[in-house]
């Protein structure tokens, strides 16, 4: 079984974190997000993977290479202009001569794709779409089905008055290769708005695969933070955090004896945590970070090589690579792009999004 991962999608909602890094490469538990997806596919014996790329492609290839270090074979396609989800897959048609998977590269899920593939074959479907329940379906694509699970209607981003189900398109598909002939070349064409409705109109068998397995897209900073909270509290079967009090410390990292650690905390390699520092999980700290005396870090994600001065207070925030938070600064509910400098005793209001390279 082959898989296409769509990693060239729109990343503006995750700004300013994705100004200089592809969304698929943002760190999750200090590992690039895309690596989690690849390892998940490998566990389901899907090891021939095509990465359909667009924005900022080089960092992805530079990190993943041919995939051998992860036990998979990686191929790459690149778009010169955005062609939508189906257009991006069409771009890799030369690789797709058998039933294949399509995954959005910004979704973390425990979906049992082995069982989904089995259902697809049992139903003799042309396409099978994973569904997941959400509390607010108005930002997603709703899919209505009959009693046998065959799709009867698509509705993209409905108003509340149009909502008839909370089962949404979960961004994972099993597709037969002949479907690719329905996608015009060199055109912006999506699965959700174009291809699937077209197949439905033609009477082709499209089925749904509903699942209550863990599912989260990382399309916004808030959801990115929530993913970390969920993983560190053991809500996903892919990670073993369950106690709520686990501390993982990377190699060559040092924590002063007077530092206080509560909850689940992950610390990368070569970090220095000063005396009197309080780490109140869920907290993730990337490699090469320095946190000086008396700083308080609560429910936050810090990327690599950040420097936090004495008495800094950081809560419910995301701090990207190479940031400098000077003494006694207060950052709450904020998102800092890479190379941001926050002045001494500066206070950032909740909801602040600071562009890379900015001094505040």
Q: How much is the pTM?
A: 0.92
Q: What percent of the chain has pLDDT over 90?
A: 77
Cα–Cα distance, 35 to 269 (Å, whole number): 18
Token pair of 79 as six digits? 């778009």
Which helix (H) or strand (E) segment holds residue 33: the answer is: helix 33-43
Where do the structural domains in the chain lie, given as residue ranges? 2-223, 247-354
Q: Of 1.10.3720.10, 3.90.550.10, 3.40.5.90, 3.30.450.20, which CATH number belongs to 2-223? A: 3.90.550.10
The answer to whether the beta carbons of residues 16 and 44 sit under 8 Å apart is: no
pLDDT tens across 55-94, in order?
667 889 999 999 999 999 999 998 888 889 999 999 999 9
Tokens 């926050």 correspond to 342
Local confidence band at 181 (pLDDT 50, 70, 90 cut-offs): very high
pLDDT of res. 336? 98
H/E run at residue 36: helix 33-43
SS3 at position 242: coil
Nearest to 167 by CA among 137, 146, 139, 197: 137
Task: Give the number of other Cβ atoms within 10 Å of residue 163's Cβ.
Answer: 13
Query: How far is the C-alpha of 26 from the C-alpha of 260, rounded, in Å?
Result: 28
- Both tokens of 85, joined, read 């989800």
What are the DSSP E strand ranges found in 61-150? Answer: 73-78, 100-104, 107-109, 127-133, 141-145
d(CA 308, CA 274): 10
Instruction: Report, as an integer, the average pLDDT of 310-320.
Output: 98
So what's the pLDDT on residue 288? Answer: 98
Cα atoms in the Cβ-side hemisphere of radius 13 Å centred on 255: 21
- Residue 243 has a pLDDT of 58
Torsion of CA 349, 352, 355, 360, to 10 degrees: 0
Q: Which two tokens stand for residue 21?
A: 């890094």
Return the HEC string of 256-270: CCCCEEECCEEECCC
DSSP H helical ranges for the chain: 33-43, 58-64, 84-90, 113-123, 196-201, 221-232
What's residue 15's pLDDT?
A: 80
- Would you state the pLDDT for residue 9? 59
Report the C-alpha gap between 229 and 97 in whole angstroms.
Answer: 40
Residue 125 and residue 205 in contact, taking contact as beta carbons nearer than 8 Å = yes
Pairing mode of beta strands 301-302, 318-319:
parallel
Quote the pLDDT of residue 132. Answer: 93
pLDDT at 12: 59
Q: Domain 247-354 carries which CATH code?
A: 2.160.10.10
Separation of alpha carbons 100 and 174, rounded Å: 6
- In the chain the first and final C-alpha atoms are separated, in Å, by 50
Read off the tokens for 37.
């997806």
């Amino acid at each position: 079984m082959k898989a296409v991962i769509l990693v060239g999608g729109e990343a503006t909602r995750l700004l300013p974190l994705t100004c200089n890094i592809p969304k698929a490469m943002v760190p999750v538990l200090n590992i690039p997000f895309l690596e989690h997806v690849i390892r998940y596919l490998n566990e389901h014996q899907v090891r021939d993977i095509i990465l359909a790329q667009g924005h900022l492609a080089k960092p992805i290839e530079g990190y993943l290479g041919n995939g051998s270090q992860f036990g998979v074979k990686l191929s790459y396609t690149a778009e010169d202009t955005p062609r939508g989800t189906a257009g991006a897959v069409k771009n890799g048609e030369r690789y797709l001569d058998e039933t294949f998977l399509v995954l959005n590269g910004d979704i973390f899920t425990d979906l049992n794709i082995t069982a989904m593939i089995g259902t697809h074959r049992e139903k003799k479907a042309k396409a099978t779409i994973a569904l997941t329940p959400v509390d607010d379906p108005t930002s997603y694509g709703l899919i209505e089905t009959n009693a046998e699970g065959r799709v009867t209607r698509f509705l993209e981003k409905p108003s509340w008055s149009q909502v008839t189900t909370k089962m949404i398109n979960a961004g994972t598909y099993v597709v037969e290769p002949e479907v690719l002939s329905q996608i015009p070349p060199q055109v912006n064409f999506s699965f959700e708005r174009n291809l699937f409705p077209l197949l439905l109109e033609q009477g082709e068998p499209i089925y749904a695969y509903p699942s209550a397995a863990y599912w989260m897209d990382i399309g916004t900073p808030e959801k990115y933070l929530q993913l970390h909270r969920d993983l560190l509290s053991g809500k996903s079967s892919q990670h073993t955090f369950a106690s709520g009090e686990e501390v993982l410390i990377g190699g060559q990292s040092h924590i002063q004896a007077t530092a206080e650690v509560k909850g689940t905390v992950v610390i990368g390699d070569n970090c220095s945590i000063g005396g009197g520092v309080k780490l109140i999980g869920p907290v993730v700290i990337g490699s090469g970070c320095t946190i000086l005396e008396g700083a308080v870090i609560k429910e936050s994600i810090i990327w690599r090589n950040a420097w936090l001065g004495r008495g800094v207070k950081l809560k419910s925030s995301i701090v990207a690579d190479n940031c400098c938070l000077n003494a006694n600064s207060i950052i709450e509910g904020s998102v800092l792009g890479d190379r941001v400098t926050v002045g001494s005793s500066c206070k950032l209001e909740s909801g602040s999004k600071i562009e890379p390279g900015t001094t505040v």
